Structure 1
Amino acid sequence: MVPLLVILLTLTGAWAGRPVLLPPPHAADLVLPPDQWFTQKLDHNNPGDDRTWQQRYQVNDTFYQPGGPVFLMIGGEGPATAIWVVAGQWIEYAQQYGALCFQLEHRFYGESRPTADMSVENLQYLSSEQALADLASFSAAMTEQYALPEGTKWVAFGGSYPGTLAAWYRLKYPDMVHAAVSTSAPLLAKTDFLEYKQVVKDSIYAKSGEQCYMNVQQAFADAEQLLEHPIGWRSLTSAFQLCAAFDGTSSLDGNNLMQILADRIESVVQYNEDNRAFSGHKDANITIGSVCELMNDESMGVPIERLAALNDLIMTVHEETCVEHRYQSLIDKMTDLDFASENNDATRTWIWQTCTEFGWYQTAEGAEQPFGQHIPLSYYIQQCIDAYGPEYVWIYGGYDQSFVDAAVAATNAKYGGRDLATSRVVLVNGSIDPWHAMGVIVSSDPALPAVYINGTAHCANMYPARAEDSPELVAARQQIGDLIGQWLQED
């Protein structure tokens, strides 16, 4: 019998500045499969711990042909919405290769809640290592449940953080996964990810030129000046519609406000001209081009007034009534332990993973970026301390930047960073996406080919095709599909 191929596609959730694959379009037109539940082990590292929990998954068998591949979409740091089980480029590959499709939600995100709450005592079970073991456990169970043939091959697909998981799954479980397509995946853990904002600069230059970049840089320089005096504080409060009067005596409030304003531009760059409008995303039409058109419009006033106008636009699109800039409000959200709380937008769980494994803090400490110098590494490290507090210290024996540095070093030692010691993994990145700086964009190893797509942003190849897609994007999707077909033929 022909070995069955199982392909994993991994997804993520949403948080400013984190690697996120957003849902595909036309959700209202799709018939979605129901949620199902898998009994998963809580702690894969402790054979004596028999506690279990219910992990959400969905199935789509529309295209399955006996002996054909099975695709498993693995959730990332957000809800595993059923939309992705019926839409996206991976579904085109599923139709091409006659695939049975699964989606498995990541532990501690969405409805997959292994513990009663998100206390630090419980968050010790949230890690990439546990998530990878979840994949292996689920895949083994589905192989038995669906009577899949011996020798079934698994190929992991992933976009963003789950793209990292896809590559690591192939690395750590080569007997379970035959190959991987790893898209927009940050493979190198790094505490101070100053390169993120540097790529934002390069992307603004590439799409709209020097004038826009200089206007953005001047706007943030002007904002930094306003941070220094009470008169400026009143101007910031009014111009950017803050929820409370700005108090410049709190450096963390200043850090938080500057990162919020930087994210107004960074998020546009990260998802520039993608195809997320198909899921009803209200800001999909805001691109680098439209941002720069506004930032270059002298009729809107000086650069900081244009930045305020951009802020107004994004607030209107997202129906925001004010900008909550206070650092303590962020910490209040992050210290809410209730899964069911309206504060649970995955920030607490994702920041936990950055504090204990990845870093990836997008500082403005590098010179080659337009956002000033008020977004330091200490701002992010303080979040780890304040969000997880004494309980964190009690369990882990202390906490400061050296702990994060050590955790990041351990992650790179465990997985190899950019030096993946594996094969049959294609590494896909877009030139506009800031996350490509932590990935692999050039490879001389035919077993680990790199596909670097000029002019595209985060996970662009994973969205459904459309008429306006660039020739480079069209060619990349074809190349990836050909690699899947090639690997299907290999033992």
Structure 2
Amino acid sequence: MSTCLLCLVLLFFSVVAEATYSPGGFHHLSSLRQKKKASKSKPELPFETRYFPQNLDHFSFTPESYKVFHQKYLINSRFWRKGGPIFVYTGNEGDIDWFASNTGFMSDIAPKFRALLVFIEHRFYGESTPIRKKSHKSAETLGYLNSQQALADFAILIRSLKQNLSSEASPVVVFGGSYGGMLAAWFRLKYPHIAIGALASSAPILHFDNIVPLTSFYDAVSQDFKDASMNCFKVIKRSWEELDAVSTKKNGLQELSKKFRTCKGLQSRYSASNWLSGAFVYTAMVNYPTAANFMAPLPGYPVEEMCKIIDGFPRGSSNLDRAFAAASLYYNYSGSEKCFEMEQQTDDHGLNGWQYQACTEMVMPMSCSNQSMLPPYDNDYEAFEEQCKSRYGVKPRPHWITTEFGGMRIETVLKRFGSNIIFSNGLQDPWSRGGVLKNISSSIVALVTKKGAHHADLRAATKGDPEWLKEQRTQEVAIIEKWISEYYRDLRGEN
């Protein structure tokens, strides 16, 4: 995953089941343990790990605000020359190593630009937490976890780094995917004196305040499977009714546990439902053209591979059996899992803080229509608000992000105000429907690919990359090169 997840931004609850969506990723809590195979051992990264003393609160001057925590960041100066550009990844909701290992694009282009690479971990995630016991249950400990504080962290760290390197004139370009892409775009708008431009990949900055239809995310997931196979779409859509029918039988949960090869007996049918839907949603997000190991180890174009499994069953086979077999591609592509844990929550990538953000500022409402292949549900804001009050003692602020960063009528606003932002999206990514898909001005451009998945452009180049992905990256490099050339011309006082 190069950015999750990042890891979207919504929390919805039913009576028993629970799921969290983040632009970094769609976080089905019951599925987190299955991702351990993708990241059990941390990859060797070509970065030096450093820690920066950061104030707890940048926006007040109370004694508590000066409490210091140490923010982790990764740095690679192999190709850099003093005065050269600095490429900064604005970290999102998880361990920064995870994002660095899935954002090879920056390393690929560093030699061309002779750039310094910096990956900054988001506060309250990974090792960059002010909470000693990493408690994620109270607003008293989590109150300083928000995007504004995170952006200020980035700004202060970048300024300090440039001073320490005696390279204060170096141009800075920020990169990010998913929530990190949102932060990259917002950083350019909020701190234009620090970053000369931003590449915001798969950044759903319009998924707030009902700017896009509430059903858009799941509509996109369903469209991905329809495009692969209409029969596949129909089988998955019919499987939920079969799942409910089995679960309501006398020993229904036992039968489901056996059918789904669970490590322990299921306590709720929602666990099986979440497990299935999580596999289909995540796979739609990471439908990369080549094999990858972001959310889980998967082959190239895994949606198509799932549908081949479903379509390959003999006529008359159970829809639920077919859906389970397809979902197993996501959870067990390696074939090493003997059973599936569906009800024990683990947090291998340090994602837990996102639930708090979704309950405060990152309110991204969603619903799922009857036309979707997934179980339909209506957005119930009142129930969501009550859950947030119960869990954290906080009341969501559904209009805050658009107040702080904008989003309404973004075309006319940014056309006159902003500059130097690339919004890149692949239309197979469900989050793309909350992204900027049309050019806003000559310097705020939308690079959209028909087959692209969740921030696919930020992944490292491979020999198997299709031409459309190569062209997308070529365009991004050319635009960034133009920004940097213009900056140096201005620095020299040339017209």
Structure 2: any 5+ residue segments left out of the alignment?
Answer: 8-19, 26-34, 491-495
Separation of aligned partners in 1, 2:382 and 2:337: 28
Check conservation: 1:428, 1:452, Cα contact below 8 A.
yes
- Matched to 1:346, the amino acid is G
For residue 359 of structure 1, give the secondary structure of its aligned residue in structure 2.
Answer: coil
Moved more, 93-102 or 214-223: 214-223
Check conservation: 1:189, 1:357, Cα contact below 8 A.
no
Structure 1: any 5+ residue segments left out of the alignment?
Answer: 1-9, 248-252, 334-341
Match of 1:358 among 358, 362, 385: 362
Separation of aligned partners in 2, 1:166 and 1:136: 11
Measured after TM superposition, the shift of residue 323 of structure 1 is 4.5
Pair 1:31–1:344, CA change in 2 (3 A) = closer
User: Size of the alignment, in residue pairs?
Assistant: 447
Alignment partner of 1:408 is 2:398: yes
Measured after TM superposition, the shift of residue 92 of structure 1 is 2.5
Separation of aligned partners in 2, 1:224 and 1:175: 56
Query: Deviations for 1:328-358, whole angstroms, at most 9, x for unmatched residues?
Result: x6xxx5xxxxxxxx65643430111111122
Measured after TM superposition, the shift of residue 472 of structure 1 is 1.4
Query: Deviations for 1:242-298, whole angstroms, at most 9, x for unmatched residues?
Result: 455556xxxxx4445323211111111110125563789533457011100111123
Moved more, 305-314 or 462-471: 305-314
For residue 407 of structure 2, what is the aligned residue in structure 1? 417
Measured after TM superposition, the shift of residue 55 of structure 1 is 0.6
Pair 1:381–1:462, CA change in 2 (3 A) = farther
For residue 482 of structure 2, what is the aligned residue in structure 1? 486
Pair 1:412–1:363, CA change in 2 (3 A) = same
Check conservation: 1:36, 1:58, Cα contact below 8 A.
yes
Check conservation: 1:189, 1:409, Cα contact below 8 A.
no
Match of 2:458 among 462, 466, 471: 462
For residue 273 of structure 1, what is the aligned residue in structure 2? 288
Match of 1:94 among 100, 110, 114: 110
Percent identity reads: 24
Query: Deviations for 1:412-438, whole angstroms, at most 9, x for unmatched residues?
Result: 121112616321111000011001011
Alignment partner of 1:451 is 2:447: yes
Q: RMSD of the alignment, in Å?
A: 3.3
- Matched to 2:57, the amino acid is D
For residue 349 of structure 1, what is the aligned residue in structure 2? 353
Query: Deviations for 1:432-491, whole angstroms, at most 9, x for unmatched residues?
Result: 100101111122422211000111101111112223222211111011111001111234
For residue 226 of structure 2, what is the aligned residue in structure 1? 205
Once the two structures are superposed, the pairs formed by residues 420-435 of structure 1 within 5 Å of their partners are 421=414, 422-435=418-431
Check conservation: 1:40, 1:52, Cα contact below 8 A.
yes
Separation of aligned partners in 1, 2:367 and 2:88: 35
Match of 1:261 among 265, 268, 276: 276
Separation of aligned partners in 2, 1:173 and 1:66: 22
Match of 2:91 among 50, 70, 75: 75
Alignment partner of 1:162 is 2:180: yes
Match of 1:215 among 226, 232, 235: 235
Query: Deviations for 1:135-192, whole angstroms, at most 9, x for unmatched residues?
Result: 1110111121111134x43221111110000000011112212111110001024378
For residue 217 of structure 1, give the secondary structure of its aligned residue in structure 2.
Answer: helix
Pair 1:188–1:83, CA change in 2 (3 A) = closer
Separation of aligned partners in 2, 1:101 and 1:145: 15
TM-score with structure 2 length normalisation? 0.81
TM-score with structure 1 length normalisation? 0.81
Separation of aligned partners in 2, 1:275 and 1:210: 23
Alignment partner of 1:140 is 2:159: yes
Measured after TM superposition, the shift of residue 240 of structure 1 is 1.8
Alignment partner of 1:47 is 2:61: yes
Check conservation: 2:218, 2:430, Cα contact below 8 A.
yes
Check conservation: 2:123, 2:150, Cα contact below 8 A.
yes
Once the two structures are superposed, the pairs formed by residues 330-409 of structure 1 within 5 Å of their partners are 343=347, 345-360=349-364, 363-364=367-368, 366-373=369-376, 375=377, 377-378=379-380, 385=386, 389=390, 392-393=392-393, 396=394, 399=395, 404=396, 407-409=397-399
Q: Which runs of 4+ in 1 moved over 6 A?
A: none
Alignment partner of 1:241 is 2:261: yes
Separation of aligned partners in 2, 1:213 and 1:85: 33
Pair 1:12–1:381, CA change in 2 (3 A) = farther
- Matched to 2:304, the amino acid is G
Separation of aligned partners in 1, 2:126 and 2:313: 44
Measured after TM superposition, the shift of residue 197 of structure 1 is 1.3
Check conservation: 1:40, 1:55, Cα contact below 8 A.
yes
Pair 1:286–1:231, CA change in 2 (3 A) = farther
Separation of aligned partners in 1, 2:245 and 2:347: 33
Alignment partner of 1:172 is 2:190: yes
For residue 298 of structure 1, give the secondary structure of its aligned residue in structure 2.
Answer: coil
Check conservation: 1:60, 1:85, Cα contact below 8 A.
no
Pair 1:236–1:363, CA change in 2 (3 A) = farther
For residue 182 of structure 1, give the secondary structure of its aligned residue in structure 2.
Answer: strand
